[in-house]
Amino acid sequence: MPEVLRGTGVSPGVAAGPVRPMSGAVPEPPADQRHAGDAHAERARALAALDAVGADLEERGAQAGGEAQDVLAAQAMMARDPGLAGLVTDRIDDGLSAPRAVYEAFGVFRAALSRAGEYMAARVADLDDVRDRAVAVLLGVGAPGVPDSDEPFVLVARDLAPADTALLDPAKVLAFVTRDGGPTSHTAILARAMGVPAVVACGDCMDLRDGTIVLVDGASGEVRPDPTEQVIADAHAAAGARAAALDVTTGPGATADGHRMPLLANIGGPKDVEAALACGAEGVGLFRTEFLFLGRTTAPSEEEQESAYRAVLEAFPSVVVRTLDAGADKPLAFLPPPDDEPNPALGERGLRLFDSHPGVLTGQLRALARAADGLDVELHVMAPMVADAAETRSFVAACRAAGLTRAGIMIEIPAAALRAADLAAEADFFSLGTNDLAQYTFAADRQIGGLARFQDPWQPALLDLVALAAGAATAAGKDCGVCGEAAGDPALACVLTGLGVTSLSMSARSLPLVRAAVAAHTLDQCRRAAEAARRATDADGARTAARAELPGLEPLGL
């Protein structure tokens, strides 16, 4: 194991603690695996495993409470179902090993559930989870998913899907380290939202053993196995000094000469409101509504949506809500793309999905209009993944039909930036999604760690597209914010200001840094930095050239 593992730091801060690897898939026991001959002992082993899984699920339910408790109690009942036990013992009596017998018995239940209508078919995933837990006990391997741990830990994984992380206990996770993912992957976004250090694209991290103490530096991207006490103390001291420099800025965003730059938060639901307010967000610039419904197999009711939206709309004077952005890196089971798309990131995703599921969009727009009714909030609604003027027109028309007056679009596809003037004639505002815009500009999947360099938002080609979109919006008298992760980079935030964007929206914890950086420069300095960056021929050159025009960064330790 090398002394230092290197990846890309995507969420600043320092943490030290024991590694807990995310457990992978539980293997299917071989079809011909037989027990040694003592069927009685094998039956007892199988039934004890099922019982242990049932007890464990009940205990987790009691801890979680609420709706989760009902789901876990239902799963515990599956584990303890007498019919299932009968199927298991029959198979063991026929000579099969306990793991294989359990696996096959669940298969019988699974087939019955799949045939029993849509609601029951949706329980198949829960059943599979119970099966995997029982097989894992019998094979002596870790249960699937996020590991259990009584003490806080550093979560190490290949990558984290939003569905894996929805149930994470933030008090338990000290840091994330993943082998895959880039600066805009959802691991990175989640880590920044939770305020925990994170390193992605860390090629060797899967070699870290369970329990090894590691020091994770989410700014430098370094992961140190077995650090000394002194190394840990020094790292904490340096991170503390940086944090202290930031705590001093509050108030609305503006340059040193008073050019307003509203600083807004990216959120995934009501649970993120508190952190956004605590970090001084002036409003919400991106409410990723799909984050509310990850892991759901049925579409949420309009009433359920309305109450989640209202909880956010009540908290801020201005909120930009994005309609469901399903597909590719954010799959929603109730909004499935067509089968067998060879390249989901280029398939029916985002706004395109509503062609095959139109009722979901109109339902969401209705729920949003009702949620804002009677509140003193500026509700802006925008669509993800818009390609052209025709899509913009039809989305704006759908918003108007629902009584929504501020209808905008995300600029995430190069075509939309190139023809921004056409789109600005249709939309009330733009919001630049630089994460996807980088992905599509460089034809580099944002989830592939090895391609992380293409996700670098300092690439001059990306800055050119930002300038095009911002210029077209200004000419049409419309706002053009940035809500991709680029907005959360303090130096780049100054460059974006200089490029003419009208607001910056980011993970809440990036706000103090960005506020300080923007306040330390005049609009003119920001413009000069933007011009210098665009004259460069690569991302590093752009960064260096811009920083030379931004002397206020260094005193802030940035």
Stretch that binds ligand PEP, among 229-237, 305-313, 331-339, 430-438 (CB under 6 A): 430-438
Task: Figure out which of the listed residues 387, 468, 483, 495 binds ligand PEP, where binding follows CB under 6 A.
Answer: 483
Which structure tokens are listed for 253? 């965003």
Closer residue to Mg ion, CB minimum distance, 308 or 416: 416
Task: Figure out which of the listed residues 7, 484, 498, 512 binds ligand PEP, where binding follows CB under 6 A.
Answer: 484
- Report whether 497 contacts 259 (CB < 8 A): yes
CA distances from 89 to 35, 100, 139 (A): 12, 11, 17
Closer residue to Mg ion, CB minimum distance, 279 or 437: 437
The active-site residue, picked from 205, 279, 483, 526, is 483
Closer residue to ligand PEP, CB minimum distance, 100 or 288: 288
Q: Is 485 in the site for Mg ion (CB under 5 A)?
A: no
| Interaction pattern, residues 256-295, with ligand PEP; x per rule: CB under 6 A | ------------------------------x-x-------
Task: Figure out which of the listed residues 435, 441, 455, 510 binds ligand PEP, where binding follows CB under 6 A.
Answer: 435
Dist. CA 552–CA 546, nearest whole Å: 12
Q: How many chain residues bind Mg ion (CB under 5 A)?
A: 3
- Residue 321 interacts, among Mg ion, ligand PEP, none and using kind-specific CB cut-offs from 5 to 8 Å, with none
Task: Figure out which of the listed residues 285, 433, 488, 490 binds ligand PEP, where binding follows CB under 6 A.
Answer: 433
Cβ 184 to ligand PEP shortest distance, Å: 6
Q: Residue for token digits 């009722």?
A: 359
Residue among 389, 390, 372, 179 at smallest CA distance from 381: 372
- DSSP symbol at 145: B
- Residue 484 interacts, among ligand PEP, Mg ion, none and using kind-specific CB cut-offs from 5 to 8 Å, with ligand PEP
Q: What stretch of H or E contains 491?
A: helix 490-499
Phi/psi for 242 (5° steps) reads: -65, -45
Closer residue to ligand PEP, CB minimum distance, 11 or 434: 434
Dist. CA 15–CA 8, nearest whole Å: 16
Q: Is 380 in the site for ligand PEP (CB under 6 A)?
A: no
Let me know if 186 is a catalytic residue. Answer: yes
Stretch that binds ligand PEP, among 56-64, 164-172, 195-203, 429-437 (CB under 6 A): 429-437
Stretch that binds Mg ion, among 177-185, 432-440, 529-537, 543-551 (CB under 5 A): 432-440
Phi/psi for 246 (5° steps) reads: -90, -30
- Residue 434 interacts, among ligand PEP, Mg ion, none and using kind-specific CB cut-offs from 5 to 8 Å, with ligand PEP
CA distances from 452 to 32, 199, 230, 310, 463 (A): 44, 12, 32, 37, 17
Span 436-465, contacts to Mg ion by CB under 5 A: 436
CA distances from 72 to 54, 65, 66, 211, 272 (A): 9, 10, 10, 28, 25
Q: What share of the chain is helix, strand, coil (3-state, %, to 5)?
A: 50, 15, 35
Span 357-416, contacts to Mg ion by CB under 5 A: 412
| Interaction pattern, residues 170-189, with ligand PEP; x per rule: CB under 6 A | --------------x-----
Cβ 284 to Mg ion shortest distance, Å: 16
Cβ 436 to Mg ion shortest distance, Å: 4
Dist. CA 412–CA 245, nearest whole Å: 34
The dihedral through the CA atoms of 329, 330, 331, 337 has a sign that is negative
DSSP helix/strand/coil, 407: strand
Range list of H helices, 288-388: 302-313, 358-372
Task: Figure out which of the listed residues 253, 433, 490, 552 binds Mg ion, where binding follows CB under 5 A.
Answer: 433
Span 309-328, contacts to ligand PEP by CB under 6 A: 325
Closer residue to Mg ion, CB minimum distance, 282 or 436: 436
Q: Is 434 in the site for ligand PEP (CB under 6 A)?
A: yes
Stretch that binds ligand PEP, among 60-68, 300-308, 432-440, 542-550 (CB under 6 A): 432-440
Residue among 536, 535, 523 at smallest CA distance from 496: 523
Give 157's strand partners: 178
Neighbours of 345 (CB within 10 A): 17
The active-site residue, picked from 186, 205, 480, 526, is 186
Closer residue to ligand PEP, CB minimum distance, 144 or 433: 433
Neighbours of 6 (CB within 10 A): 15
Cβ 469 to ligand PEP shortest distance, Å: 13
Dist. CA 390–CA 116, nearest whole Å: 42
Span 112-131, contacts to ligand PEP by CB under 6 A: none
Closer residue to Mg ion, CB minimum distance, 144 or 433: 433
- Report whether 493 contacts 466 (CB < 8 A): no
Q: Point out which residues bind Mg ion (CB under 5 A).
A: 412, 433, 436
Known catalytic residues are 186, 483
Q: Point out which residues bind ligand PEP (CB under 6 A).
A: 184, 286, 288, 325, 412, 433-436, 483-484
